[in-house]
Amino acid sequence: MFDTDILIVGSGITGTALARELSRYDARILVLDRGSDIAEGATKANSGIVHAGYDAVPGSLKAHYNVRGAALFSSLCESLSVPYRKCGAFVIGFDAKDLDTLYVLLQRGESNGVKGLRILSRDEALRLEPSLNPDIAGALDVPESAIVSPYELAFALADEAALNGVSFLLGQTVTAVEKTGEGWLARTGKGESVSCKVFVNCAGSSGADLHNLISDFPLHMTHRRGQYYLLDRAPVLPFSRTIFQCPSVMGKGVLVSPTVHGNLLLGPNAEDIPDPLDTATTSEGLSDVLEKARRTWPGASIRTNITNFSGIRAHLSTDDFLVGPVSGAANAFEAIGIESPGLSSAPAVGLELSEMIAASMSLKRKNAVVSLPRRPVPFHEMTDEQRNAAVESNPEYGNIVCRCECVTEAEVRQAIRRPVGAKTIDGVKRRTRAGMGRCQGGFCSPRVAQIISEETGIPLAQITKDGGDSYLLSGTLASFLKGGSVNE
């Protein structure tokens, strides 16, 4: 039984942004998530774009939070040492109808306050991005569009929140919420319970289910899956900007974009699915993505594909975010329906929702707030001189664990020792990039598992890929021949 002032359900980009903002106030805060780690839902599987804000309908919450959030991104990522790059974007059109759409987006963007938008001729667009399909009719240039590593931002937000006293309870799914006098009691599937004064729903794809447990105003949410290809890093990528096609009712369509780590991302398609946890890829979905990506990039080759993945967008029938007090439920707040541009909006949603909650509870600001220490430059990005200095100060920088992404033992250990540290193979992967490269952990996962075991004391045979029953191993050779195994 936990007792807290504020319970935030969901540790995605919105929940962690909110937790960090609220950690500036004098209050006990607990973040609960069903994942074994931070950012296990949509935050770990999306396009990683900070949208400039030309797409959302003026007057919508999406437009408001997107524009305000995007403006906060650069300094936020700088202060948290999170990879972020304003690489710009094109929205390309193929015919007169598309060009009309580009003008609508231009006007929309301007009324949303987006700077630098302009329509480019075919030739100008092709000169700037020579790998584009020569059949384009024109493009909308969006210089303010940026890319970010979304899960790394969530990790940093969570770490800073934790440094300022926020607790995290991971691997717990809320199954029931009861009103208790002025507050709430949340129960989890594992029999744990949390009592709180204020309940906040940032539960991503479970947002509507959780809302419907406490509100008399039911919501309907659909789950829209998007599949991706992630291609290997290359010295020169075919595109320097994010390339969007004209948006449709199902979303922003298939994009081709560099990532902050120098990979190339193709996706997502959009398909409504019944199960909000079904992040499988399908051959139809992947073919669909490739076919559509080839419209942007006729030379698209998946020969260097590293992995495929899919993410789930939580789409409310109102087609907008829902941010604020929960209708018909006192001392409860929510930020749900956070589909695209949810990542771009998160800093603003976190900020404004924290102000609403603080006002409702009359919270006082703390006198001092701890900033997240600057994260060392990744070994992979260091100069020779920096590498020399790093190994001299800590010999563990001399042991390369992941050869593909050049990640050192020192960095793997640091990732496990962070305030909200990695406990799984995927947790180390997302924090350090060990296993994120072209061999997909084939060489480094045995060593990473060993280091996790050393750091956490978890026996090697109980290390998981990603929590739950995702065991890497079935037991020692000896236990096996005896007919048993440690996991039985």
Partner 1 sequence: MNKQYVDLLIVGAGPAGLAAAISAREEGIESILILEREQEPGGILRQCIHNGFGLHRFHEELTGPEYAQRDIDRIRELNIPVECGTTVLSVSDQRVITCVSASKGFRRIQAGAVILAMGCRERPRGALCTPGTRCAGIYSAGTAQRFVNLEGFMPGKRVVILGSGDIGLIMARRMTLQGAKVLACVEIMPYSSGLNRNIVQCLEDYGIPLYLQHTVTEIHGRERLDGITIAQVDKKRIPIPGTEIHFDCDTLLLSCGLIPENELSQGAGVEISPLTSGPVVSDNLETSVPGIFSCGNVLHVHDLVDHVSNESFKAGKAAAAFIRNPSHAEARFAVCDGTGVRGTVPQRISAAPQEDVQLMFRPSDVFRNAAAVVECGGQEILRKKAMIYTPGEMAVLTLKKEVFSTLSGDTITVRIEGEKNNG
What string of DSSP letters covers 61-125? HHHHHHHHHHHHHHHHHHHHT--EE---EEEEE-SHHHHHHHHHHHHHHHHHT--S-EEEEHHHH
**Other CB atoms within 10 Å distance of the CB of residue 476:** 14
Nearest to 270 by CA among 204, 207, 309, 223: 223
> Which chain residues interact with partner 1 by CB under 8 A?
229-230, 277, 279-283, 285-286, 302, 305-309, 384-385, 387-388, 390-392, 395-400, 403-404, 406, 409, 438-443, 445-446, 450, 460-461, 464-478, 480-481, 483, 485
CB nearer to partner 1: pick between 126 and 461:
461
**Minimal distance, residue 105 CB to partner 1, in Å:** 33
**Minimal distance, residue 142 CB to partner 1, in Å:** 30
The SS3 of residue 170 is strand
Q: Which of 51, 64, 223, 261 is catalytic?
A: 51
- In which residue are the tokens 């937000």 written? 157
Element (H, E) at 400: strand 400-402
**Minimal distance, residue 279 CB to partner 1, in Å:** 7
CB nearer to partner 1: pick between 326 and 406:
406
**Minimal distance, residue 171 CB to partner 1, in Å:** 12
51 has catalytic annotation: yes
Q: Measured between alpha carbons, how far is 137 from 284 in angstroms, rounded to an integer?
A: 29
Inter-helix orientation angle 342-361/150-163, to 10°: 20
CB nearer to partner 1: pick between 83 and 467:
467
Q: Measured between alpha carbons, how far is 310 from 275 in angstroms, rounded to an integer?
A: 13
Parallel/antiparallel/unpaired status of strands 174-180 and 183-188? antiparallel
CB nearer to partner 1: pick between 238 and 285:
285
Q: Measured between alpha carbons, how far is 29 from 181 in angstroms, rounded to an integer?
A: 19
The distance of Cα 213 from the centroid of its chain, to the nearest Å, equals 26
CB nearer to partner 1: pick between 64 and 465:
465
CB nearer to partner 1: pick between 75 and 399:
399
- In which residue are the tokens 């304003």 written? 86
**Minimal distance, residue 326 CB to partner 1, in Å:** 30
Element (H, E) at 33: strand 29-33
Q: Measured between alpha carbons, how far is 199 from 150 in angstroms, rounded to an integer?
A: 25
**Minimal distance, residue 48 CB to partner 1, in Å:** 18
Q: What is the set of active-site residues?
A: 51
